[in-house]
Chains A and B, each alone.
Chain A
């Protein structure tokens, strides 16, 4: 089973497609920065802005009764001492009204406990064993954001350095171009997700970007290795050798992506909800990463 990707013929198409994806991502980022309520390139989640997130299940005999979130909020407003946060509270029911999920601005542990007690009075009884509560102060949020951005920059720098030492300039440049292409597109996907579905990004998103960076470079390196090896030994022309090398490593790259996507898919399907968007970010990064390693990076190497 030989593969025959016509890289030379389709160079222009591939580059236009990538340019289109990049522009789409940039559009999402710009739209998100200027036209949303949060005015950020991406919808920053609680980890970065601070706040209180609470998920708790109700104890119901058979099915949980249907309660309107507005009614709960109204009741909360009446019995809460600190009125301030009630105005910014987001409340949802999930899992057939069983699971209550609440987001508020930052609360102290005491206030958060009061909130739960009040909830118990309104729509209880609640199952405290199923509680999942996170309180993050705004100060820590800022710090986490700086930490994440620094980690990203430092590791991008380290990877760039490694690649530059390991390959000659041209290869290094294109491998890095492919890498930034991947990261930008994943970032853009989540900008759009934030605009359309109000998906928020947390620390784990930064982690996924870092992992994607390592992974994408890995894929590109394997293909470039093959190109270098073949350029030394094969008699064919430069462009043909590149195309041949890509076809030779095509199976390997797609297979590797598939074997990495399978576990990620099982996390998406069976894993805990807190890992859902994380796995999705990784999956999209791996898909974009294999595309750029197989098609984009080698196309950039081709001579006109």
Chain B
């Protein structure tokens, strides 16, 4: 008896501890419950697997970019060796994040090949007209104008294609425009030779509004060696008709000449500006990308989930209804069928609920919708163990054994079945957790934790509570344990 009382105090202690934990360390809610966006970024590697170092490198660049973007409370984690998951809670638009994060942001400085001035001029003109066509197209589309305008754009595009001696393969007009633009960008880049100066030589980037108009420019600050390289490069082409191009991800964003006055020393001071008709937004995005450095491997955004805050709170409410009504009806069912024993199982279920939630806040487990369904489902499984035991107890009682003996052997004999059953469920949870996606992991975690805790509550807590009840003479009547109509036979 002493030992059992020890258990009773231990259980009360655990309950108090759980409540204390839950009050002081509130549960972490997933984005489907609090609203927000989740982006899955996939690292693209043509050959071989993404190594740990590469994953770390990509992770650190993305992390810097996210921080510089100024989104609040974001959370970045790696998943499965070649994916990253970025969570943006609240009503933050994932659009900007996706634009800034998705680009490799490989910055190059290139010098124009000699004797290509004429070619470059033609290409620059073509690039300008394509840009105009794209703008025109978007404008016409938005204003629902008739097909004549589209025809004009199409004809203009055909002319450019002819000049370029290139024909596009896309089947819609917008796709064709984008394809031609890419082709022109590539042709322009090909007119320039690589130098050893790149984005790696930057130590900072900034932006400011140009004085003469409302456009923005991006400021680059080089490291010491970068500054020297920049001076060297500018010196080599100063006063010539060769241009210096700044190329971002294969697209030239600025081509500029270097004046004769820099012929002796080059441009010193370790900084440069890119002024390429940036809007405030574009300038900020480029700044963030350059500050974070270029990605060692390109990434692609393969999944985006956005949940409005209102929908999130609705989801919480719905889950709460489901959980509570589930508990109540299971409770009614148990008490109806097992009387006092049923009441004991309800008490241990309540304990079960508290222990589970306390563990979630302790580990911590982020609660998501699938997670909650795992928890609700595990209520049923937790009761399962109780039912096994109670059935055994009833059988013993029918066989005419005393209450105390029936309870003892009921718990003892149900043991092996319970452990077996739990192991198969745990196996499934374990596999789910190892191989599953983030979404599935929530379910596997709560179900797995639930199954483990239910071993403790249904075996130990139920037994202790039952023992405690049976110390009262008035609670030891057999009819309190067996429904009356069955008691007669």
A-B interaction: yes
Given contacts A262-B333, A266-B326, contact A272 B369 (CB under 8 A): yes
Least distance between B295 CB and chain A CB atoms (Å): 18
Please name all residues of chain A whose beta carbon is closer than 8 Å to the beta carbon of B327 when the two chains form the complex: 263
Question: Is A256 on the interface with B (CB-CB < 8 A)?
Answer: yes
Residues of B near A80 (CB, < 8 A) are 141
- A250-283 CB mask vs B (1 if < 8 Å, else 0) is 0110011011111111110111101100110010
Flag if A222 contacts B388 (CB, 8 Å).
yes
- Indicate with 1 or 0, residue by residue over A68-86, a CB within 8 angstroms of chain B CB atoms: 0000000000111111100
Contact B391 A272 (CB under 8 A): no
A255 near B387 with CB under 8 A, answer yes
| A109-B437 in contact given A139-B42, A155-B427, A211-B377 (Cβ < 8 Å) | no
In the complex, the chain A residue whose C-beta lies closest to that of B379 is: A263
Whole-angstrom distance between the Cβ of B290 and the nearest chain A Cβ:
22
Q: Are B302 and A275 in contact (CB under 8 A)?
A: no
How far, in angstroms, from A130 to B309 measured CA to CA in the complex?
7
Residues of B contacting A60 in the complex (Cβ-Cβ under 8 angstroms):
none
Tell yes or no: A90 within 8 A of B by CB: no
Q: Which of A84, A207, A225 contacts B443 (CB 8 A)?
A: A207
Given that A134-B304, A158-B427, A272-B319 are contacting pairs, would A79 and B142 also be in contact in the complex, using a CB cutoff of 8 Å? yes
B184 CB within 8 Å of chain A: no
Q: Is the CB of B388 within 8 A of A252?
A: yes
Contacting residues, chain B, for A279 (C-beta < 8 A)? 373
Give residues 420-465 of B contacting A (CB, 8 Å).
420-429, 431-432, 434-437, 439-440, 443-444, 447
Task: From the candidates B32, B315, B370, name the one contacting A207 in the complex (CB within 8 A).
Answer: B370
Can you name the residue of chain B whose Cβ is closest to the Cβ of A211? B428
A30: Cβ under 8 A from any B Cβ: no
Does A89 belong to the interface (CB within 8 Å)?
no
Known contacts A221-B417, A263-B326: does B437 contact A144 (CB below 8 Å)? yes
Q: Is A236 an interface residue (CB 8 A)?
A: no
Kindly state whether residue B380 has any CB partner on chain A within 8 Å: yes
Given contacts A263-B322, A271-B373, contact A132 B306 (CB under 8 A): yes
| Smallest beta-carbon distance A86→chain B, Å | 11
Chain A residues with Cβ below 8 Å from B259 are none
For A84, the chain B residues whose CB sits under 8 A away are 172
Please state if B311 and A259 are interface contacts (CB–CB under 8 Å): no
Cα–Cα distance between A249 and B394 once the two chains are bound (Å): 12
> A215 touching B425 by the CB < 8 A rule?
yes
The residue in chain B whose Cβ has the minimal distance to the Cβ of A2 is B489
- Complex contact B308–A131 (CB within 8 A): yes
Q: Once bound together, how far apart are the Cα atoms of A158 and B426, in whole Å?
A: 11
Residue in chain A with minimal CB distance to B413: A229
Taking the closest CB of chain A, its distance from the CB of B56, in whole angstroms, is 22
Is the CB–CB distance between A270 and B318 below 8 Å?
yes
Contacts of A185 in B (CB 8 A): none
Could you say which of B90-98, B277-285, B470-478 contacts chain A? B90-98
Docked-complex contact A162 and B376, CB < 8 angstroms: no
Residues B439 and A203 in contact, CB atoms below 8 Å apart: yes
Q: Is B321 part of the contact surface with A, judged by Cβ < 8 Å?
A: yes
Would you list which residues of chain B between 263 and 308 have a CB under 8 Å from chain A? 300-308
Interface size class on chain A is 35 or more
Total interface residues on B, CB under 8 Å, equals: 84
User: How many angstroms from the CA of A211 to the CA of B322 in the assembled complex?
Assistant: 19
* Chain A hits for B307, CB < 8 A: 131-133
Is B329 interfacial (CB-CB < 8 Å)? yes
Are A109 and B98 also in contact (CB < 8 A) when A129-B91, A151-B431 are?
Answer: yes
Determine chain B's interface SS by DSSP, over half rule: helix
> Restricting to B78-110, which residues have a CB under 8 Å from any CB of A?
91, 93-95, 98-99
Given A166-B420, A261-B380, A263-B376: A134 in contact with B305 (beta carbons within 8 A): yes
> Does A252 contact B437, Cβ atoms closer than 8 Å?
no
A105 to B282, alpha carbons, bound, how many Å?
A: 28
Q: What CA separation (Å) do A127 and B311 show in the bound complex?
A: 10
A150 to B421, alpha carbons, bound, how many Å? 23
CA gap between A136 and B300 in the complex, in Å: 11
- Closest Cβ of chain B to A79, distance in Å, is 6
Distance in Å: Cβ of B298 to nearest Cβ of chain A: 13
CB of B35 within 8 Å of the partner chain: yes
A110 on the interface (CB 8 Å rule)?
yes
Tell me the minimal C-beta distance from A175 to chain B in angstroms.
10
The closest CB in chain A to the CB of B83 belongs to A140
Chain A residue numbers with a CB within 8 Å of B334 are 259
Flag whether A246 is at the interface (Cβ < 8 A): no
Whether B376 and A267, one on each chain, are in contact in the complex, defined by CB atoms closer than 8 angstroms, is: yes
Interface flag for B214 (CB, 8 Å): no
* Bound complex: CA A147 to CA B431 (Å): 11
Give CA–CA (A108, B327) in the complex, Å.
Answer: 42
A260 to B378, CA, bound (A): 8
Q: Name A274's contact: one of B369, B381, B383 (CB within 8 Å).
A: B369
> For residue B433, which residue of chain A has the nearest CB?
A151
- Closest chain A residue to B329, Cβ basis: A262
Nearest CB on A from B140, distance (A): 10
Can you name the residue of chain A whose Cβ is closest to the Cβ of B320? A270
Q: Does A27 lie at the interface of the complex (its beta carbon under 8 Å from any beta carbon of B)? A: no
Residues of A within 8 A of B322 (CB): 263, 266-267, 269-271
- Give, as a whole number of angstroms, the nearest-CB distance from B202 to chain A: 27
Chain A nearest Cβ from B384, distance in angstroms: 4
Q: Report B-chain residues with C-beta under 8 Å of the C-beta of A218.
A: 384, 420-422, 424-425
Closest to A135 in B: B304
Asked if A123 CB lies within 8 Å of chain B CBs, one says no
Kindly state the separation between the CA atoms of A90 and B330 in the bound complex, as whole angstroms. 40
Distance in angstroms from A223 CB to nearest chain B CB is 9
- Is B162 part of the contact surface with A, judged by Cβ < 8 Å? no
Query: Of B32, B95, B421, B428, which one neighbours A222 at CB under 8 angstroms?
Result: B421
Among B302, B377, B486, contact of A1 (Cβ-Cβ < 8 Å): B486
Q: Which residues of B contact A251 (CB under 8 A)?
A: 391
The verdict on B224 contacting chain A, using a C-beta distance below 8 Å, is no
- A255 CA / B383 CA spacing, docked (Å): 9
Whether A131 contacts B325 by the Cβ 8 Å rule is: no
CA distance A260 to B439 in the complex (A): 22
Whether A78 contacts B300 by the Cβ 8 Å rule is no
Q: Is A210 an interface residue (CB 8 A)?
A: yes
A204 contacts B by Cβ under 8 Å? yes
4 extra interchain contacts, Cβ-Cβ under 8 A, other than A80-B141, A154-B435, A207-B432? A154-B431, A159-B424, A225-B416, A272-B318
**Which residues in B have some Cβ–Cβ distance to A below 8 Å?**
32, 35, 40, 42, 91, 93-95, 98-99, 137-138, 141-142, 144, 172, 174, 300-311, 314-315, 318-319, 321-323, 325-327, 329-330, 333-334, 337, 369-370, 373, 376-377, 379-381, 383-384, 387-388, 391, 395, 416-417, 420-429, 431-432, 434-437, 439-440, 443-444, 447, 485-486, 489
- 9 A-B pairs closest in CB distance: A260-B380, A263-B326, A129-B310, A218-B421, A214-B428, A155-B431, A137-B302, A140-B302, A214-B425
* Residues of A that sit less than 8 Å from B by CB: 1, 56, 78-84, 108-110, 112-113, 127-137, 139-140, 144, 147, 150-151, 154-155, 158-159, 162-163, 166, 203-204, 206-207, 210-211, 213-215, 217-219, 221-222, 225-226, 248-249, 251-252, 255-256, 258-267, 269-272, 274-275, 278-279, 282
